[in-house]
Amino acid sequence: MEAQKIAVDAIVALTDCDRDAVTSFIRSLYLAGVKDPKRLTFKGLQAIARG
């Protein structure tokens, strides 16, 4: 759970995106098996850059 919080905080701080949308995306990655906060943050930033 702490990994999700770290990733959400980092992405919101870097991109100023909607916290609820970022939380939902990170939660889906976490449930898919990604547990490392750095990896969650990186994947989240990649998704935002594409979208």
What is the per-residue pLDDT across 1-51, written as a single tens digit (0 to 9) for each? 899 999 999 999 999 999 999 999 999 999 999 999 999 999 999 999 997
- Residue 14 tokens, joined: 């870097």
What distance separates the 2 farthest-apart alpha carbons in the chain? 26
Total number of domains constituting the chain: 1
pTM greater than 0.75: yes
CA–CA separation, 45 vs 13, rounded Å? 11
Domain residue limits at 23: 2-50
